[in-house]
Amino acid sequence: MGGGEIALLNLVKNLDLALVTPVILLFSKGPLASRLREAGFETHILSLSPNVLDTRKDSLGLATLLRVSIAFRVLLHIFQVARFTHQHQIDLVHTNSLKSDIIGGLAGRLAHRRVIWHIRDRIDSDYLPKSVVRAFRILARWIPNNIIAISQATLKTLQLPADFKHARVIYDGTPLIALTDRHPGARSNPLIGLVGRISPWKGQHIFLRAAAQVRQRFPNARFQIIGSALFSEQQYESQVRALASELNLTDAVEFTGFRTDVPALIQNLDILVHASTLGEPFGQVVIEGMAAAKPVIATRGGGIPEIVIDGETGILIPMNDAPAMADAISELLSDNRRRNELGSRGRRRTQEHFTIERTARTIELFYKSCAASNKSGS
């Protein structure tokens, strides 16, 4: 599952069911549907046409939507979702992705329901094509009644007018699990990990170049790249694996591939590195690492500085800067006490600002205010 799917699952599992009855509508089968049903939630699949479903978010511009074959299927799906909304007596339509913003948003409007857009992507030209950016900035002003953004950085990219009063930031949260052995002492083979989909903008190539420099100072250091590539990015994964060989890191780097036990893998790390080369909308992996009391090194961009207080709860470094990353890793490997302090402070900051319980309570209040606005007609 992707970050948005994980965030949705965490949210639904922590809502107060005495206040909210979640009815989840997905556009395809997959692990999210299975996990939701296993947890006992009413989950429906209204399958979207494959040529619409497979359209990547970086090609969701108006030109794509206006292609006759796609436009017809999208319109049909909008009517089907609107009918579903009526049949299940839905009060609020809460969309969770760029595609669902359009389809679910228009369906909600058609069904005369209040629409909440949950913006989980930075709507900016360094993250999405310019046509997509223009389209979504326009649509954001008239489809949703309310907008939730996952960071201030993400909200700013919508460039909403000053008189748009119905948007707010609600940070995603993570479960705060009990800590296992945190390796408080210095290990002879310290383990540094990067977690996330293998993709050029996630920076695995930067991480490896930094690892090569760290190994010159700490020959026993070990590294993990946790995650796998989507089909369209498998060529990049091959390039990353070739780079590991080129840098003589094959004995020091483990590619774990896709894993379902990521929290356990994070618990086993000594340092968690975030290496994205573009600004993250938020940084789910970063709060997961902080929740596990791991010292975090993260690139300074997007919503990350809203999570990590540089030098206090982690270390921020410039994007695309392998030497700076290597220096930060080496600094922490040289100072076990500092590693533990950053980890402890990071966990405390997560407890105060980024727990899933806090997120769920905030969204429940947001739902309540939206429902009240619905009744008053505002």
Res. 188 pLDDT band, cuts 50 70 90: confident
How many angstroms separate the CA atoms of 284 and 58, rounded? 21
pLDDT tens for 262-294 read: 999 999 999 999 999 999 999 999 999 999 999
Identify the CATH number of the domain in which residue 229 sits: 3.40.50.2000
| Domain-located, residue 183 | no
| Domain-located, residue 181 | no
344 and 288: one domain? Answer: yes
Residue 225 has pLDDT above 80, yes or no: yes
| Domain-located, residue 301 | yes
Mean pLDDT, rounded, of the chain: 91
Residue 184 has pLDDT above 70, yes or no: no
Residue 64 has pLDDT above 60, yes or no: no
Does this model's pTM top 0.95? My answer is no
Task: Tell me the two tokens of residue 91.
Answer: 């009060």
Range of the domain at 165: 3-173+356-376
348 and 369: one domain? Answer: no
Q: How far is CA 304 from CA 11, 58, 197, 249, 275, in A?
A: 21, 22, 17, 29, 11
pLDDT tens for 9-37 read: 999 999 999 999 999 999 989 899 999 99
Residue 126: CB atoms within 10 A of its CB come to 13
Res. 178 pLDDT band, cuts 50 70 90: confident
Q: What is the chain's length?
A: 378
240 and 209: one domain? Answer: yes
Residue 46 has pLDDT above 60, yes or no: yes
Contact 192, 224 (CB under 8 A): yes
120 and 165: one domain? Answer: yes
Residue 52 pLDDT:
59
Output 69 or 289, whichever has higher pLDDT.
Answer: 289
Res. 183 pLDDT band, cuts 50 70 90: low
| Domain-located, residue 87 | yes
How many angstroms separate the CA atoms of 330 and 343, rounded? 16
Residue 68 has pLDDT above 60, yes or no: no
Mean pLDDT (whole number) for 233-240: 94
Residue 67 has pLDDT above 60, yes or no: no
> Based on the structure, what is the number of domains in the chain?
2
pLDDT tens for 47-60 read: 887 665 655 555 55
How many angstroms separate the CA atoms of 155 and 170, rounded? 10
369 and 348: one domain? Answer: no
How many angstroms separate the CA atoms of 49 and 30, rounded? 15
Res. 185 pLDDT band, cuts 50 70 90: low
349 and 360: one domain? Answer: no
| Domain-located, residue 361 | yes
83 and 222: one domain? Answer: no
Torsion angle in degrees (nearest 10) through CA of 204, 208, 214, 219: 130
pLDDT tens for 110-167 read: 999 999 999 999 999 988 888 889 989 999 999 999 999 999 999 999 999 988 889 9
